[in-house]
């Protein structure tokens, strides 16, 4: 085997820098095995701002992994990908230890991955990741109106000045791993097809938004302030989102929730959603 062949095969692992953005985005656009857990428009900003590592050889980028720290609980793998001609095992053997070291150095006790891409899930499980919970998918078909509901709160369209109240509310309603960033919420405020907030006692107590793709709508979020739950506000928001979507010509609505979230599941079922049997794992590794 010639020396030049060995040199060409040698991989170097290093932290991602600004100058790597173009080659990573090219890989995201063209490689077979890419996992991205952020809206495409946010990807460039996230890669620039968040910690990540890449492997490269003389021909350039071989693979990368970017994580989002969620202090003080966990870091989430939000982007990963590798060159079509490389294998997942050496990719993880090289990058995962670096990623885990940097997560520990940030003072975070765990690394997590949400998704069901087989090429990543199987090999992460072989490296100490365990399934902590499942996300399940629900669908509502047809144009049957939802059951009538009480209207305890005042509903209105959200606007950009709601951002800070929404961020606080999202932090209160969701476990850290499911929280939306200010960037996510800003993006949704600017571009969601429908974003509604509920007000009561002069404060913002709930919100929901969905995106529409022709006759299909995906309900991305439904949340009520913990102090105001159990008063019918969740049902009111869900009712309004469904009516709104049906009025705009939608005939299928999808959404995801946690398998163990009995309260939201029964609410969705009462409003005509059915469990599709599609499940997605949350993989978790404690880093001692």
Ligand X SMILES: CC(C)(COP(=O)(O)OP(=O)(O)OC[C@H]1O[C@@H](n2cnc3c(N)ncnc32)[C@H](O)[C@@H]1OP(=O)(O)O)[C@@H](O)C(=O)NCCC(=O)NCCS
Q: Which residues lie across from 155 on neighbouring strands?
A: 198
CA 48, 53, 57, 58 dihedral sign is: positive
The residues, any chain, with a CB within 8 Å of residue 64's CB and separated by 6 or more, are 16, 20, 24, 27, 52, 53, 54, 55, 79, 80, 81, 82, 95
Q: Draw the binding track, 205-224, toward ligand X (x: CB under 6 A; -: no contact).
A: -----------------xxx
HSE at residue 239, side-chain half, CA atoms within 13 A, is: 16
Query: Per rule CB under 6 A, is residue 121 in the interface with ligand X?
Result: no
Query: Per rule CB under 6 A, is residue 173 in the interface with ligand X?
Result: yes
* Minimum distance of ligand X from residue 93's CB (angstroms): 36
Query: Per rule CB under 6 A, is residue 231 in the interface with ligand X?
Result: yes
CA 275, 276, 280, 281 dihedral sign is: positive
Query: Per rule CB under 6 A, is residue 230 in the interface with ligand X?
Result: yes
* Minimum distance of ligand X from residue 243's CB (angstroms): 15
3-class state of residue 211 by DSSP: strand
Question: Within 248-287, which residues bind ligand X (CB under 6 A)?
Answer: 257, 261, 263-264, 266-267, 270
Return the number of the residue (189 or 255) whose C-beta is nearest ligand X: 255
* Minimum distance of ligand X from residue 20's CB (angstroms): 34
Q: Which of 52, 81, 234, 281 lies at the binding interface for ligand X (CB under 6 A)?
A: 234
Query: Per rule CB under 6 A, is residue 176 in the interface with ligand X?
Result: no
**H helical segments located in the chain:** 3-9, 21-30, 40-49, 88-105, 118-125, 163-173, 182-191, 233-247, 262-270
Return the number of the residue (174 or 213) whose C-beta is nearest ligand X: 174
Query: Per rule CB under 6 A, is residue 154 in the interface with ligand X?
Result: no
Length of the chain: 288
Binding site for ligand X (CB under 6 A): 173-174, 222-224, 229-235, 257, 261, 263-264, 266-267, 270
């Amino acid at each position: 085997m010639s020396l030049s062949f060995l040199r060409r095969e040698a991989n170097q692992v290093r932290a991602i820098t600004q100058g790597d953005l173009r080659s990573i985005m090219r890989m995201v656009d063209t490689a077979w095995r890419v996992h991205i857990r952020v809206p495409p428009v946010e990807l460039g900003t996230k890669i620039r701002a968040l910690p990540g590592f890449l492997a490269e050889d003389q021909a350039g980028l071989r693979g990368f992994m970017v994580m989002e720290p969620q202090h003080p609980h966990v870091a989430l793998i939000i982007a990963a990908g590798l060159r079509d001609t490389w294998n997942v095992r050496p990719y993880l053997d090289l990058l995962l230890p670096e990623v885990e070291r940097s997560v520990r150095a940030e003072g975070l006790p765990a690394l997590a991955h949400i998704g069901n891409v087989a090429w990543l899930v199987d090999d992460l499980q072989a490296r100490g990741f365990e399934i902590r919970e499942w996300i399940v998918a629900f669908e509502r078909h047809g144009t049957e109106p939802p059951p009538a509901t009480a209207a305890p709160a005042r509903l209105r369209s959200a606007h950009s000045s709601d951002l800070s109240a929404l961020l606080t509310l999202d932090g209160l309603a969701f476990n850290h791993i499911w929280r939306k960033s200010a960037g996510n919420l800003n993006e949704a405020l600017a571009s969601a097809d429908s974003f509604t907030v509920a007000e009561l006692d002069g404060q913002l107590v709930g919100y929901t938004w969905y995106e529409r793709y022709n006759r299909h709508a995906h309900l991305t979020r439904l949340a009520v302030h913990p102090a105001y739950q159990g008063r019918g506000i969740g049902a009111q928001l869900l009712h309004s989102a469904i009516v709104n979507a049906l009025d705009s010509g939608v005939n299928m609505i999808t959404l995801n929730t946690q398998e163990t979230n009995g309260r939201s599941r029964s609410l969705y079922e009462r409003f005509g959603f059915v469990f599709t049997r599609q499940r997605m794992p949350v993989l978790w590794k404690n880093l001692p």
